[in-house]
Amino acid sequence: MFFKGNAVQYLTIGLEIREAIAHLAQYPILWLDTETADYRSKNRRIALVQAQTDPGGDPDQVFLLDVLDQPELIETLITTIIANPKIEKVFHNASYDLRFLDQARAQNITCTLNMARAIPKSLLPVQDHKLKTLAAHFCNLPLDKTEQGSDWGRRPLSPAQQDYAALDVIVLPQIHQALLRLQAIAAPARDPQREDLDALTLAYRQISPKYEAMKKEYESIKERLKQAMDAQQCKHCNGVQYQKTTSMDYKASFADLLAVTQAQQLPPPSLPIKLTKEWQKQLKPVWHLLPREEAVQVRISLKIAKDEEDVPF
DNA sequence: GTGGATAAACTGAAATACGC
DNA sequence: GCGTATTTCAGTTTATCCAC
List per-residue pLDDT tens for chain A, 313 residues long: 444 445 789 999 999 999 999 999 999 999 999 999 988 777 789 999 999 999 999 999 999 999 999 999 999 999 999 999 999 999 999 989 998 999 889 999 999 998 888 888 888 888 888 999 999 999 988 888 888 888 899 999 999 999 999 999 999 999 999 999 998 887 776 666 677 777 777 777 777 666 666 666 666 676 677 667 767 767 667 666 666 655 555 556 666 767 777 787 776 665 556 565 556 666 667 777 777 666 555 555 555 654 554 444 4
Instruction: Identify whether A280 is part of a domain.
Output: no
Enter the pTM of the model.
0.72
CATH number of the domain at A153, please.
Answer: 3.30.420.10
Domain range for A91 is 2-192
Instruction: Identify whether A79 is part of a domain.
Output: yes
Which nt has its C1' nearest the CA of A40?
B1
* For helices A159-186 and A131-139, angle between their N-to-C axes, nearest 10 degrees: 70
Which nt has its C1' nearest the CA of A33?
C19
Nucleotides of strand B within 7 Å of the protein's CB atoms: 1-7, 11-15, 17
A93 CB inside 7 Å of strand C: yes
Which nt has its C1' nearest the CA of A94?
C19
Instruction: Identify whether A117 is part of a domain.
Output: yes
Instruction: Identify whether A77 is part of a domain.
Output: yes
Structural domains of chain A, count? 1
Nucleotides of strand C within 7 Å of the protein's CB atoms: 8-11, 13-20
Instruction: Identify whether A65 is part of a domain.
Output: yes
Cβ–Cβ contacts within 10 Å for residue A24, how many?
21
Instruction: Identify whether A240 is part of a domain.
Output: no
Alpha-helical segments (H) within chain A:
14-24, 71-77, 94-98, 112-118, 131-139, 159-186, 197-231, 254-263, 277-282
Instruction: Identify whether A295 is part of a domain.
Output: no
The alpha carbon of residue A181 and the mean position of all alpha carbons in its chain are separated, in whole angstroms, by 19
pLDDT of residue A1: 42
Between CA A270 and C1' C7 the distance (Å) reads 33
